[in-house]
Amino acid sequence: MTLRRRVLGYLALAAIASCALTVGVAVVLVRHRISSQRMANLEQQANVVAAAALSPGDRVYRVGGVRPRPVRPPRSDAVLAAIPATGDVQGTVAVNGRDLLYAARGTAVGGRVVLVRPANLAFAEWRPFLVSLVLAGVGGALLAAVLAYLLARRLTRPIGNLAAATRRVARGEAGVAVPVEGEDELSDLGRSFNDMSSELTRARESQRSFLESVSHELKTPLTSIRGYAEAIEEHAVTPAEGSRVIASEADRLQRLVADLLDLARLGRAGFSVAHEPIDLSSIAAQAVQRHLPKARELSVELSSNSPNGPTWAMGDEGRVLQATSNLIENALRLTPAGGSIVVEAAAGQIAVRDSGPGLTPEDVKHAFERFYLHDRYRSERPVGSGLGLAIVKELVVAMGGSVEATSADGGGAEFLVRLPRGALAAGTTD
């Protein structure tokens, strides 16, 4: 059974049950009203008969036809014995096992007139009302069924659209969206689906671009390795020259694979980082010491600069060291001989500044996108795997921080990592 049929069935059942209950209550109220009207009519007739009485004595009349008919003894005696002996009274009394309505009125010539009629309603008395109630109930049920159908259609149409759109997304269709109307929960669901579909489309495009870039980056060194291997075999180049190029390309492949593995680990649900007080000055010094031999080889001045005050933050020491090392490696590739790289730590942040070619305003916007700077400058600058800055951003965000790139004053680039300063880290002084 489809959702629309279930909703329609539930709404129709509720509406019909409501109509039946309404008709039932109406029947009870109508019967009560008819009973009250019968007593009022009986009292009115008793007043008329009592006013027209010409002879003294007590008389009992039965009402039910065109005019009241006298009741003969002994039934009249039983009625008189059952009701109060004096006064103008009315009500219900049981006589010989039958419930009767009565109305007793005194006459001007002495005595009383008593009018009686059966207390039970005859079907003919309320049949017109019953027919009207049944017709109203049936009409109400039909109207309720029609309204239930329209309401079920209104409620389930957005859900049906969502189901169809979900199937289209599952088939890989891009740019799927559903119409959104109103401000209720269903419209919120539609907007959430559209947002999800847009994000999924962007993620697929990013994944496709990423795979294309990775494929290209893997193909280039492999082609070079294969070419030089064939050249060595054909004695077109010396083994020493060929092995040097093959080793360089193998190092490039190793770096790219290592970066890809890092990104894969960052994307896993089980990936976690520590959130504990760390000394950024110590991390800056470790990162500089790690890359100092390479900097000397390239004739680049590499140093750290930290204030005298505390430089604590909340994070994972190993991950911050990895991110800082990635930034230094990136700076070493770009800084020319005779240039400088400074790693500066402060409370809650660590920055890497270089005197390299710097970044344009457009580069700053996309600096941490995978392969963006790599594809842009591969023909004019030394580049790495194209994933280093993306890894830096993923690591810093995982620790609850942020990273940004700017063009340093006087040339070069600056990468600033900001980390949260928890209460413990902010209050630590040694």
Instruction: Note the pLDDT of residue 123.
Output: 63
The string of DSSP letters for 226-275 reads HHHHHHHHTTSS-HHHHHHHHHHHHHHHHHHHHHHHHHHHHHSTT-----
The answer to whether residues 237 and 231 touch, using CB atoms and an 8 Å cutoff, is yes
Output the six-digit token pair for 150.
């329209």
Calculate the alpha carbon distances from 361 to 72, 226, 294, 349, 366 in Å.
118, 39, 30, 23, 9
Torsion angle (degrees, nearest 10) of CA 52, 55, 56, 58: -70
The answer to whether residues 91 and 42 touch, using CB atoms and an 8 Å cutoff, is no
Instruction: Note the pLDDT of residue 1.
Output: 47
CA distance 100 to 114: 12
Positive or negative CA dihedral for 364, 375, 417, 305? negative
For 295, the 3-state DSSP assignment is helix
The answer to whether residues 372 and 383 touch, using CB atoms and an 8 Å cutoff, is no
The answer to whether residues 152 and 182 touch, using CB atoms and an 8 Å cutoff, is no
Residuewise pLDDT in 10s, the chain (430 residues):
465 566 667 777 777 777 777 777 777 777 778 788 888 888 888 888 888 887 888 888 888 766 788 888 888 888 888 888 888 888 888 888 888 889 999 888 888 889 998 888 766 666 667 777 777 777 777 777 777 777 777 777 777 777 788 888 888 777 788 887 777 777 787 888 888 888 888 777 766 766 665 665 577 678 778 888 888 888 888 888 888 888 877 876 776 677 667 666 665 554 567 889 999 999 999 889 888 888 898 899 999 888 776 788 999 888 898 889 888 988 888 888 899 999 999 988 999 988 888 887 887 787 787 666 666 655 554 555 567 788 788 888 888 899 998 886 667 888 999 999 865 554 554 4
The CB-based long-range contact list for 252-257 (8 Å cut-off, 24+ gap) reads: 252/221, 252/385, 253/218, 253/221, 253/222, 255/384, 255/385, 256/214, 256/217, 256/218, 256/221, 256/385, 256/387
Domain 276-426 CATH assignment equals 3.30.565.10: yes
Between helix 123-170 and helix 185-233 the angle, nearest 10°, is 20
For 377, the 3-state DSSP assignment is helix
CA distance 334 to 30: 96
For 362, the 3-state DSSP assignment is helix
**Predicted structure pTM score:** 0.48
CA distance 293 to 295: 5
Positive or negative CA dihedral for 83, 87, 88, 91? negative
CA distance 245 to 263: 27
Instruction: Note the pLDDT of residue 212.
Output: 62
22 torsion bin: left (phi>0), alpha (psi -120 to 50), beta (else):
alpha
Domain range 197-267, its CATH number among 1.20.120.1200, 1.10.510.10, 3.40.50.300, 1.10.287.130: 1.10.287.130
Closest CA to 428 of 307, 276, 312, 316: 312
Instruction: Note the pLDDT of residue 259.
Output: 65
Q: Where are the domains of the chain?
A: 3-125, 197-267, 276-426
